């Protein structure tokens, strides 16, 4: 039999759920829930640990996970109507099924295949034993393909390729709003070495800023396998075979979203008379036609929708009034994400961790690292295409030559990426700012040392500017200082940041208009602090929300200058909002800005560009609520013998199920900026646990 035919047959077998079950003894798996409902998973083997992860994840987040799988199967439109169908289209446009099938044999090692099978066995077993929780027929059994598609799909979102699609679609697909449950609002990461810490310890701070609800909200866990997977951290609520960030006994890492050039849009040169043909060097090639078959549920009615797209040499292609545009991005190099995170989690020193990074499976995300040997490191990690510097890759790229059609077979080596290890300053950080500003001023990387094609942004965020202001106040830092820096919710002296390069102008705008004179007076007396008790921060929180809505509506992700009239509109909106609902411009921030889950509402700190972060949306009458911002917060401390302590808090709680006691059990801690001590001793985890059981 032809090998390609055999491979296709084998792949079809596992996608149909006819694969062999892994060698899992569920009696070897123990899930211990602590007082906050966080699962601590004990097992004999790593595969059994992964089975336990899947089961516990379903216990806490089965609804969210099913929504994710429905999207990967192209059936989200049946659950979420038009918004879901948009995501179904993305899955079909990028032909994720074909991609995973093509990459599977060369990327998935036997070791990772065992973990994949264990994870899907846990998912499928939970679904089988809880049929009343299954929201859609034929969603299970889940397959290896579903899990690998999940990772690839997530990175189409995180590398911002979905925004490229939205721009080409000309607003006909409301992609940016729809993927709000996936969109990363930003993150903070900090690492401190004994060079700067008062106690001579090494510290790692993880502070992802993500959606408060949805598949990439964080879910906390720990896992302890006798085979070596021994880790405290978090992964995504929507699914994840291994922890995403956290620490083992020796080292830890956290991620932030980076915003360099990870995907390109190519305008094809179409034949003047021969319809459907485009120029590729000296040839005229025919576009391949495809049809996305979507189903949209509107009330009780299911409406079938067909949408045309194409495939060129460059990749998936859409047509608009200006022509045909193709997409190519770094989510499609391979499907090795699980392997890289697994090996990072099992590394015991810097050298092993670096080798794990050389797997090159994670398409984007910076990595900030710390370990028990006093090493700290920050790397602007990504799978960077090898591209010709003579082209302007940030702009629309000519789609008429193989010179611009970079290869999926060649990735820039890890050692050529932007990184800093063990700076003399003793600290490293990233707040979604330029990787050229990540440590003390004399030790930062230089733009000229890297290819132009990397598309490295050189601008900063307000959070990065504020971090530098705070660090300048310290020659040494204690843990209390480290936590206070992360907890800070004041803006820096210079308000301008990447998405709004002229935000400082808002004060001058307020002075220009008579109807904003009272607003101008308030802003001048405001101390730039978004404390819940502040009566002057609320106006700026509302104006900031209005400006952010404008940015999102225009898919304005990078270096934008806001027109004066938009600043004026934002201030008038905030003024009208406060006067209409409260009769005054001075209302405590916590009265208006809330953290909300179910029927529970608590005052919420922070603004769109403060370190302690809050991106809000409108919420009922006279209120706004956090939609993106601080989620899982982690502080890890390392001494010479290993991980000494870990403190965390996780947004609402450990479960997304409203009936769970842990649906909102951490909310009070979160808004008060309190953290819980993570028990590291395995015996004490069991001793203190409030419930222990096997997944059956």
- Does residue 165 surpass a pLDDT of 70? yes
> How would residue 230 be classed by pLDDT, with cut points 50, 70 and 90?
very high
**DSSP one-letter string for 418-483:** -EEES-TTSEEEESSS-TT-SS-TTS---GGGS-GGG-------HHHHHHHHHHTT-SSB-HHHHH
Start-to-end Cα distance in the chain: 41
Distance, in Å, from the CA atom of 634 to the CA atom of 206, rounded to the nearest integer, reads: 5
Edge to edge, the sheet with strand 39-43 lists: 419-421, 376-379, 366-371, 251-256, 245-247, 230-236, 218-225, 39-43, 30-33, 691-693
> How would residue 619 be classed by pLDDT, with cut points 50, 70 and 90?
very high
Bigger pLDDT: 174 vs 606: 606
Lowest mean pLDDT segment, chosen from 185-189, 309-313, 553-557, 610-614:
553-557
Place of tokens 């649906």: 663
What's the whole-number mean pLDDT along residues 278-301? 96
Q: 120, 141 in Cβ contact below 8 A?
A: yes
Side-chain-side CA neighbours of 654 within 13 Å: the count stands at 20
Percent of the chain residues past pLDDT 90, beyond the cut: 88
Res 47: pLDDT: 98
- Does residue 186 surpass a pLDDT of 80? no
> How would residue 15 be classed by pLDDT, with cut points 50, 70 and 90?
very low
Distance, in Å, from the CA atom of 76 to the CA atom of 374, rounded to the nearest integer, reads: 47
- Does residue 371 surpass a pLDDT of 80? yes
Res 19: pLDDT: 38
Bigger pLDDT: 132 vs 167: 132
What's the whole-number mean pLDDT along residues 457-480? 96
Distance, in Å, from the CA atom of 107 to the CA atom of 395, rounded to the nearest integer, reads: 32
Instruction: State pLDDT tens for residues 56-115.
Output: 999 999 999 999 999 999 999 999 998 899 999 999 999 999 999 999 999 999 999 999
What's the whole-number mean pLDDT along residues 151-165? 92
Distance, in Å, from the CA atom of 558 to the CA atom of 375, rounded to the nearest integer, reads: 33
> How would residue 175 be classed by pLDDT, with cut points 50, 70 and 90?
very low
Distance, in Å, from the CA atom of 77 to the CA atom of 303, rounded to the nearest integer, reads: 9
Distance, in Å, from the CA atom of 148 to the CA atom of 142, rounded to the nearest integer, reads: 11
What angle in degrees, to the nearest 10, is found between the helix axes of 96-107 and 3-15?
110
- Does residue 451 surpass a pLDDT of 90? yes
Secondary structure of 572-624 in HEC code, one letter for each residue: HHHHHHHHHHHCCCCCCHHHHEEEEECCEEEECCCECCCCCEEEEEECCCCCE
- Does residue 172 surpass a pLDDT of 50? no
Res 21: pLDDT: 55
Q: What is the mean pLDDT of the chain?
A: 93
Instruction: State pLDDT tens for residues 488-529.
Output: 999 999 999 888 989 999 999 999 999 999 999 999 999 999
What's the whole-number mean pLDDT along residues 534-549? 96
Bigger pLDDT: 13 vs 601: 601
Res 184: pLDDT: 45
Q: How many residues does the chain have?
A: 696
Res 235: pLDDT: 96
Which residues 6+ apart lie within 8 Å of 221 measured at CB? 38, 39, 40, 41, 53, 56, 57, 233, 234, 235, 243
What's the whole-number mean pLDDT along residues 602-615? 96
Task: Give me the numbers of helices (H) and strands (E) for the chain, helices first please.
Answer: 19, 28
Token representation of residue 415: 């050692």
What's the whole-number mean pLDDT along residues 422-426? 98
Res 565: pLDDT: 95
Q: 381, 262 in Cβ contact below 8 A?
A: no
Q: 364, 262 in Cβ contact below 8 A?
A: yes
Residue 28: count of CB within 10 angstroms of its CB? 17
- Does residue 683 surpass a pLDDT of 80? yes
Res 23: pLDDT: 85
Bigger pLDDT: 217 vs 435: 435
pTM of the model as a whole: 0.94
Strand 323-329 to strand 202-211: parallel, antiparallel, or no bridges (unpaired)?
unpaired
Which residues 6+ apart lie within 8 Å of 425 measured at CB? 195, 196, 439, 440, 442, 443
- Does residue 174 surpass a pLDDT of 60? no
Q: 370, 347 in Cβ contact below 8 A?
A: no
Q: 149, 332 in Cβ contact below 8 A?
A: no
CA angle 581, 587, 589 (to 5 degrees): 110
Dihedral over Cα of 37, 41, 47, 51: its sign: negative
Res 185: pLDDT: 56
Task: Give the Å distances, CA to CA, from 137 to 92, 221, 692.
Answer: 20, 29, 32
> How would residue 171 be classed by pLDDT, with cut points 50, 70 and 90?
low
């Amino acid at each position: 039999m032809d090998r390609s035919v055999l491979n296709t047959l084998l792949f079809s077998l596992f996608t149909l759920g006819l694969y062999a079950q892994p060698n899992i003894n569920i009696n070897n798996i123990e899930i211990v829930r602590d007082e906050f409902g966080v699962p601590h998973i004990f097992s004999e083997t790593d595969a059994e640990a992964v089975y336990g992860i899947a089961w516990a994840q379903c216990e806490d987040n089965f609804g969210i996970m099913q929504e994710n799988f429905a999207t990967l199967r192209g059936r989200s439109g049946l659950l979420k109507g038009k918004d879901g169908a948009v995501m179904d289209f993305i899955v079909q446009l990028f032909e994720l099924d074909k991609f995973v099938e093509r990459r599977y044999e060369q990327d998935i090692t036997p070791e990772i295949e065992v973990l994949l099978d264990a994870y899907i066995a846990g998912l499928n077993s939970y679904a089988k034993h809880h049929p009343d929780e299954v929201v859609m027929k034929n969603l299970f059994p889940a397959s290896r393909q579903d899990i690998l598609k999940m990772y690839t799909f997530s990175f189409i979102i995180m590398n911002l390729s979905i925004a490229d699609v939205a721009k080409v679609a000309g607003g006909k697909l409301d992609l940016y709003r729809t993927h709000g449950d996936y969109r990363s609002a930003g993150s903070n990461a900090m690492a401190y070495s004994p060079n700067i810490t008062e106690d001579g310890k090494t510290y790692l701070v993880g502070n992802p800023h993500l959606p408060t609800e949805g598949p990439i909200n964080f879910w906390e866990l720990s896992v302890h396998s006798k085979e070596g997977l021994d880790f405290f951290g978090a992964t995504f609520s929507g699914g994840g075979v291994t922890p995403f960030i956290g620490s083992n006994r020796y080292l830890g890492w956290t991620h932030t979203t980076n915003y360099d050039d990870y995907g390109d849009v190519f305008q094809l040169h179409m034949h003047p008379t021969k319809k459907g043909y485009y120029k590729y060097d000296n040839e005229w090639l025919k576009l391949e036609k495809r049809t996305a078959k979507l189903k949209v549920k509107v009330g009780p009615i299911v409406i079938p929708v067909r949408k045309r797209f194409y495939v060129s040499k460059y990749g998936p292609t859409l047509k608009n009034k200006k022509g045909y545009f193709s997409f190519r991005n770094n989510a499609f190099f391979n499907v090795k994400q699980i392997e890289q995170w697994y090996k990072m989690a099992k590394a015991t020193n810097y050298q092993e961790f670096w080798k794990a990074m050389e797997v090159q499976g994670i398409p984007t995300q910076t990595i900030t690292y710390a370990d028990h040997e006093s090493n700290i490191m920050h790397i602007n990690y990504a799978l960077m295409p090898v591209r010709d510097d003579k082209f302007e890759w940030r702009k629309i790229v000519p789609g008429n030559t193989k010179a611009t059609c970079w290869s999926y077979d060649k990735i820039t080596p890890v050692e050529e990426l932007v990184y800093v290890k063990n700076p003399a300053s003793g600290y490293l950080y990233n707040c979604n700012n330029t990787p050229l500003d990540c440590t003390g001023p004399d030790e930062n990387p230089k733009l000229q040392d890297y290819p132009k094609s990397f598309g490295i942004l050189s601008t900063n965020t307000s959070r990065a500017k504020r971090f530098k202001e705070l660090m300048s106040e310290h020659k040494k830092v204690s843990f209390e200082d480290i936590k206070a820096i992360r907890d800070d919710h004041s803006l820096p002296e210079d308000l301008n940041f990447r998405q709004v390069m002229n935000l400082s102008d808002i004060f001058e705008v307020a002075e220009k208009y008579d109807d904003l004179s009272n607003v101008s007076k308030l802003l001048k007396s405001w101390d730039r602090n978004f404390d819940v008790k502040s009566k002057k921060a609320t106006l700026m929180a509302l104006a900031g929300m209005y400006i952010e809505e404008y940015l999102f509506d225009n898919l304005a992700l990078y270096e934008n200058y806001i027109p004066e009239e938009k600043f004026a509109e934002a201030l008038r909106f905030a003024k009208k909002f406060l006067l209409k609902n409260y009769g005054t411009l001075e209302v405590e921030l916590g009265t208006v800005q809330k953290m909300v889950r179910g029927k529970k509402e608590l005052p919420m700190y922070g603004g769109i560009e403060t370190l302690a972060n809050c991106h809000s949306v409108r919420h009922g009458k006279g209120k706004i609520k956090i939609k993106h911002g601080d989620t899982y917060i982690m502080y890890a401390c390392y001494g010479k013998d290993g991980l000494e302590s870990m403190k965390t808090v996780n947004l609402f709680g450990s479960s997304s199920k409203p009936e769970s006691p842990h649906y909102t059990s951490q909310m009070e801690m979160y808004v008060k900026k309190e953290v819980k001590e993570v028990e590291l001793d395995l015996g004490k985890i069991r001793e203190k646990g409030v419930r222990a059981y096997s997944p059956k």
